[in-house]
Amino acid sequence: MNYFRNDFRGTLFGTNEATDSLRRRSLQKRILVTGGAGFLGSHLCELLLGAGHEVICLDNFSTGLRRNIAPLKRFDTFRVIAHDVVEPIDLEVDEIYNLACPASPPHYQADPIQTTKTCVIGSLNLLDLAARRGARIFQASTSEIYGDPHVHPQVESYWGNVNPFGPRSCYDEGKRCAETLFFDFHKSHGVEIKIVRIFNTYGPRMRPDDGRVVSNFIVQALKGEDITIYGDGSQTRSFCFVEDLIDGFVRLMASPPSLTGPVNLGNPAEFTIGELAEEVIRLTGSRSKIVRRPLPVDDPRQRRPDISLATEELGWRPKVNLAEGLAHTIRYFDDLLSRSMRESAELV
């Protein structure tokens, strides 16, 4: 099922068959997407394949799911490689999108040393590959670079406020070190780099057990379970729908070499976690009640992107508001949960 509006691919790449085939012949690239079986990666692979590119999805399937990429097997230009980016790899590619890394706090904290290795050694291996093959390389960096920010909204020039050895550090410091490596490969070896700092993004193909707030609240609401707010719910986040984010990715990748980033991508509409819970309850019509749980250590108080750079340089701004994006995501999870209930009923 296509959860996106019909104009998604049309606006970016054109829908006319003749222009599509022209693009295929003149612009087709071989593109490596690491973390391609994950939430964001699978949407990116789908978009790139639809635009006529050859896509290699590389993933160790630690948080990624085969069902995310199963429909993409219909493209004969799609290949999947089971591999861990911590190990070196050699492939002939024109472009690399590096998305490999668990993104949900419970997932990246489950094996923090592997998370740091993925961010640092993984990036090093892919930068080596980019230097060897003359490939342009994109890094999925994060708003976690700003930690618990003292500057609000966050601009790219802000250096951040990050604990170097707390429970979130494997991810935050790993991603910060990855940015350092990207810039040093750019300066020392002339590698063309593109860095985005992604703010909380949600949508179809998140795992029901992902652990991030949007999927937790929706799954809890649909199942009629308690909705778990950590802390008093006054902390804020700015939620971007996946379709908008992926549009920003390909715009940045196609931008002139001088635009290295980092570029913030996110939806600047800021909500408290309490407001998000109320909105999910409203949209699902759930009778779930809200319960409080302890606030995790080092949980950032506030987060909102300043997207002036993305707007000026890429002509990018998000189009999908929270209610619309949540409605798409609720439909996805409703479908998924009904299917899995039907399947377990059939097994009894």
Could you tell me if residue 316 is left (phi over 0), alpha (psi between -120 and 50 degrees) or otherwise beta? beta
Minimum separation from the CB atom of position 136 to ligand UDP (A): 28
* Contacts with ligand UDP, 71-110, as mask; x by CB under 6 A: ----------------------------------x-----
200 binds ligand UDP (CB under 6 A): yes
Residue 115, helix vs strand vs coil: helix
Distance CA 11, CA 37 (A): 25
Q: What single letter denotes the amino acid at residue 128?
A: D
Please report, to the nearest 10 degrees, the dihedral formed by the alpha carbons of residues 33, 334, 102, 300 taken in order.
120
Q: What single letter denotes the amino acid at residue 344?
A: S
126 binds ligand NAD (CB under 6 A): no
Among 158, 268, 296, 337, binds ligand UDP (CB under 6 A): 296
265 binds, among ligand NAD, ligand UDP, none (CB under 5 to 8 A by kind): none
Distance CA 156, CA 265 (A): 10
CB atoms within 10 A of CB 81: 14
Site of tokens 């990207």 = 182
195 versus 280: smaller Cβ distance to ligand UDP: 280
37 binds, among ligand NAD, ligand UDP, none (CB under 5 to 8 A by kind): ligand NAD
Minimum separation from the CB atom of position 199 to ligand NAD (A): 7
* Contacts with ligand NAD, 182-201, as mask; x by CB under 6 A: ----------------x-xx
Minimum separation from the CB atom of position 106 to ligand UDP (A): 8
Binding segment toward ligand UDP, per CB under 6 A, in 36-44, 157-165, 179-187, 212-220: 212-220
Query: What's the DSSP call for residue 225?
Result: P
DSSP string spanning 71-103? GGGG-TTEEEEE--TTS------SEEEE--S--
Residue 5: CA count within 13 A, CB half-sphere: 14
Minimum separation from the CB atom of position 15 to ligand UDP (A): 35
93 binds ligand NAD (CB under 6 A): no
Site of tokens 């994950």 = 38
38 versus 233: smaller Cβ distance to ligand NAD: 38
Distance CA 138, CA 34 (A): 10
198 versus 281: smaller Cβ distance to ligand NAD: 198
Catalytic residue chosen out of the listed positions 97, 146, 171, 332 = 171
Q: Answer yes or no: 146 catalytic.
A: no
Minimum separation from the CB atom of position 230 to ligand UDP (A): 4
Minimum separation from the CB atom of position 245 to ligand NAD (A): 8
Q: What single letter denotes the amino acid at residue 66?
A: R
Enumerate residues 6+ apart whose C-beta is below 8 A from 220: 226, 227, 228, 288
Site for ligand UDP, rule CB under 6 A: 105, 200, 212-213, 216, 228-230, 235, 237, 273, 296, 299
Enzyme catalytic residues: 171
